[in-house]
Every structure is written in structure tokens, then in C-alpha cells.
Amino acid sequence: MSIEVKISKTRVSYKIAMKFLDKRVEKLKKNKGKELLWVLEHPTTYTAGIRSNTSEIIDKNIKIINTKRGGKITLHNPGQKIIYLVLDLNRRKKDIRKLITAIETSITEFLELYKIKGKKDIKNIGIWVNKKKIAAIGLKVSRWIAYHGFSININNNLEEYLKISPCGLNNKQVTSIYKEKGKKIKNFEKKLIEITIKNMNKI
């Protein structure tokens, strides 16, 4: 199944990205346009999912953007890669669990390229390395159009997590590829896209 791939070289504001996703979702509901995989970075942005609670905000001065995705409060910042998906599950299997498993597999396979063993947690969605979260997953489904997606901490500033309880967790329970391996990775987008599309096409 054909998925349009979009890679943004410059940072995209969260609100602009959401408008773009919403438009693509509406097109797919009308059987127009292609599914989407979009790789980008956001400037430092704190977002609240539909299960979030104000008690998760430690620094009351930060601006929080409410969003339609599942999950709680999280951080997007430079050095974290966002992979947004818009998938028509009417054309695939109408199985949200299978979609989440495909995303989890994509993340763990990508991490394996850098000899990092990522694990999923039954209680807490996302991918973990040595009990620290390295990747977050947040989805919304409307009339079997699944959108939003996942993020992977590559070499972002983890100190910015101290202003929140990310996903309801201890804010020190986060890590990145850079923190785990002590070096920055480059030119990884193509491989990340290939792995993700391969797993999405199994749904």
C-alpha cells in the first residue's frame, strides 16, 4: 500500500503540524489522498493528551498545548524525532493493538541498529531501555483513520523533562540514543522510514 513520505529539514511548530494532519485525516475519510508518514522535529513544546492531569506539570510557567492524542503530558524538543502517521485502517486490519505492536517493533528494530535493546512495558506504553523511556507512542483513531504516531529521543536535551512528569512518570526516567551510546547518530532518517513502512504494511 502506498504511503506518502514527508521529511521536514527545518523544525515545524506543533500547531502547524496538527493542522496538516487534520487535513490529511479528513481527506482519507473521503477516500481522497494518500496515507502519510512524516518525519520532523518540533521546537520545545509541551503537549497534554486526553488522559493528562495538571498534577503532572511541575513548572507551572510552561505553556501546555492540549491535543487529541491518547496519553498524558509529554515533551517534544530539538533532537527528538517525531514520526507522524496517518493510516486508513479501513483498508488494512481494523486492529489498534496490531498497529501499536507494529510501531513498537519499528522502534525496537531501529534501536537495534545502534546496539540498543529496547523493551515494551505492559503497564506503560512506549519503549524502554534499562527502565528509562526512550520512545513515546500516542495515537488517535477517528472512523478507523489512525493518526499522530511516535517519537524517539535521539540527542535532545533531557533536562527539559524536569519541568513535567512525562507520561505520568518520574521525570528522570527518560533517556536518549546519545545518552546510551555517548555519540550522535547521523543520516538515520532513511533507515527509520524503511523500517516503519515495512512494519506498517504488515497491518
In what helix (H) or strand (E) does residue 109 lie, and over which residues does it extend? Answer: helix 96-112
Instruction: Tabulate helix, strand, coil % of the chain (nearest 5).
Output: 30, 30, 40
Place of cell 519499528: 106
Tell me 44's DSSP state. S
CA terminus-to-terminus distance, the chain: 10
Place of cell 547518530: 185
Q: Would you call 137 exposed, middle or buried from its count of C-beta atoms within 10 A (0-12, 13-18, 19+)?
A: buried
Query: In the annotation, is 200 catalytic?
Result: no
| 115: alpha, beta or left? (left if phi > 0; alpha if psi -120 to 50) | left
Radius of gyration in angstroms for the set of CA atoms belonging to the chain, rounded to a whole number? 16
Tell me 83's DSSP state. E
Point out the catalytic residue in the list 18, 167, 169, 193: 167
Q: Which amino acid is at 100?
A: I
3-class state of residue 39 by DSSP:
strand
For residue 192, CA distances in Å to 43, 61, 169, 173, 189 come to: 21, 35, 27, 24, 5
Catalytic residues: 167
